[in-house]
């Protein structure tokens, strides 16, 4: 009887506590007692997009480790991934399907066009998009309250590359960019960066995806005619490779620089022509152990994928997934979409040598940009 009386008193106390707390809040979609469902649209192109494949391997390495350790607030992170085939329209459809399918958040898209399409859905549905891995200015300006980039944007990369060029006496800039609204926004940022460093844009070189050899020959000739001494890029790595080859064949002595997107693929495609080429990178070197995040990544990735090469892609995926986990922890044991966004207001995520910052009206993420030079052996010295 004594034990039964204690049980009745305990039940009564629990009931009174629930009444005092008021009606319980229904969990947001994707949140159960044991799981958090995260929706990811990413550019894999059926495995043909090498960077996307590497990014996903890094993401899964981090999340698998976190889940083995008990997850976030005792919930496993379940990642549902859809492939957008590098098409903005498909990325938008995927994002809608992920939201309608009950994903708590959207996460980890690639490329500017698809990421912008996913951001559009995030804003309309009021579902946070965390960690789009693209440098497009449209992910930050105008401010999008539901979008939280982690990596630095291309504007920061342009500044670092032009600052480097100016430091070795290069003053006349050529900018090879997609003939699109975003490409023109990038051109405006390159002009500002050039002005800040005592340089000038001498040639803006827009291109369509179907640009022909004759047009590329004309652009290579324009580089010579305008006495351009450094060239930056935005857009297709394959088309930029063709321009570099044509310019070199025509005798151009311009210094070709590049942003991080597809850096490994471009260096490999150019072969000996890439020697000495400088790339901006938005993560530390994945081959060095100088930063805490690189050491953590190497140890975890080596355990998960014995013998597999480290890469910028898998490190960026690992780092972005780590930022997601830290953000989810900040959101607390009873997460909501609105609470997730609120928890990041004023937050700084320390990723181990890279920091991502979020403020009201300014979701800058990281401003980490480093430069890497291609060696004689085709490796990146950062």
How far is residue 181's CA from residue 332's CA, in Å, rounded to a whole number? 39
Token output for 153: 């944007």
In DSSP terms, 40 is beta-bridged to 81, 107
Token output for 35: 């799981």
pLDDT in tens, the chain (382 residues): 333 333 444 344 444 333 333 444 678 999 999 999 999 999 999 999 999 999 999 999 999 999 999 999 999 999 999 999 999 999 999 999 999 999 999 999 999 999 999 999 999 999 999 999 999 999 999 999 999 999 999 999 999 999 999 999 999 999 999 999 999 999 999 999 999 999 999 999 999 989 999 999 999 999 999 999 999 999 899 999 999 999 999 999 999 999 999 999 999 999 999 999 999 999 999 999 999 999 999 999 999 999 999 999 999 999 999 999 999 999 999 999 999 999 999 999 999 999 999 999 999 999 999 999 999 999 999 9
Q: Which residues contact 62 (CB under 8 A, 6 or more apart)?
A: 300, 317, 318, 321, 322, 325
Phi, psi for residue 179 in degrees, rounded to 5: -85, 80
Sheet holding 278-281, edge to edge: 200-207, 172-178, 230-233, 255-258, 278-281, 370-374, 380-381
Where does CATH 3.40.50.2300 sit in the chain? 35-151+290-366, 155-281
pLDDT value at position 6? 33
Token output for 368: 């980490």
Identify the residue whose tokens are 């926004």.
Answer: 185
How far is residue 274's CA from residue 304's CA, in Å, rounded to a whole number? 31
Residue 160 and residue 134 in contact, taking contact as beta carbons nearer than 8 Å: no
pLDDT value at position 25? 60
Pairing verdict, β 147-148 and 129-130: parallel
Residue 89 has a CB neighbour count (10 Å cut-off) of 12
Q: Which residues contact 73 (CB under 8 A, 6 or more apart)?
A: 328, 329, 332, 333, 335
Peptide bond into 142 cis (omega under 30): yes
How far is residue 106's CA from residue 133's CA, in Å, rounded to a whole number? 12
Q: Which CATH architecture has domain 35-151+290-366?
A: 3-Layer(aba) Sandwich (3.40)
Q: Give me the sign of the Cα torsion angle 20, 23, 28, 32.
A: positive
pLDDT value at position 179? 96
Superfamily of domain 155-281: Response regulator (3.40.50.2300)
pLDDT value at position 360? 96
């Amino acid at each position: 009887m004594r034990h039964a009386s204690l049980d009745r008193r305990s039940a009564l106390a629990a009931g009174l506590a629930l009444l005092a707390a008021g009606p319980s809040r229904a969990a947001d979609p994707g949140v159960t007692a044991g799981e958090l469902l995260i929706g990811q649209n990413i550019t894999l192109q059926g495995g043909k997009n090498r960077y996307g494949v590497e990014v996903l391997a890094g993401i899964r390495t981090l999340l698998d480790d976190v889940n083995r350790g008990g997850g976030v607030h005792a919930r496993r992170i379940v990642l549902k991934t859809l492939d957008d085939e590098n098409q903005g329209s498909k990325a938008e459809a995927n994002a809608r399907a992920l939201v309608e399918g009950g994903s708590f958040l959207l996460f980890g898209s690639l490329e500017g066009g698809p990421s912008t399409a996913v951001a559009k859905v995030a804003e309309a549905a009021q579902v946070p998009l965390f960690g789009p891995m693209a440098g497009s200015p449209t992910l930050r300006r105008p401010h999008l309250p539901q979008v939280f980039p982690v990596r630095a944007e291309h504007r920061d990369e342009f500044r670092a590359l032009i600052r480097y060029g100016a430091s070795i006496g290069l003053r006349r800039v050529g900018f090879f960019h997609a003939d699109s609204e975003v490409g023109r926004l990038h051109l405006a940022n390159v002009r500002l960066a050039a002005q800040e460093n005592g340089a000038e844009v001498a040639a803006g070189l827009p291109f369509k995806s179907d640009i022909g050899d004759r047009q590329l020959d004309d652009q290579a000739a324009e580089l010579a005619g305008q006495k351009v001494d450094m060239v930056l890029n935005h857009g297709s790595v394959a088309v930029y490779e063709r321009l570099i080859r044509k310019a070199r064949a025509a005798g151009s002595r311009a210094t070709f620089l590049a942003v991080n997107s597809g850096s490994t693929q471009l260096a490999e495609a150019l072969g000996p022509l890439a020697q000495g080429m400088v790339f901006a990178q938005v993560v530390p070197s994945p081959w060095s152990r100088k930063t805490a995040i690189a050491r953590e990544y190497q140890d975890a990735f080596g355990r998960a994928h014995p013998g597999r090469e480290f890469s910028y892609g898998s490190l960026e995926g690992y780092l972005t997934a780590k930022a997601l986990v830290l953000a989810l922890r900040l959101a607390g044991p009873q997460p909501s979409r609105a609470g997730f966004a609120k928890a990041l207001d004023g937050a700084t995520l320390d990723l181990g040598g890279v920091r991502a910052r979020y403020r009201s009206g300014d979701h800058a993420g990281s401003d980490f940009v480093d430069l890497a030079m291609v060696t004689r052996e085709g490796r990146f010295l950062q």
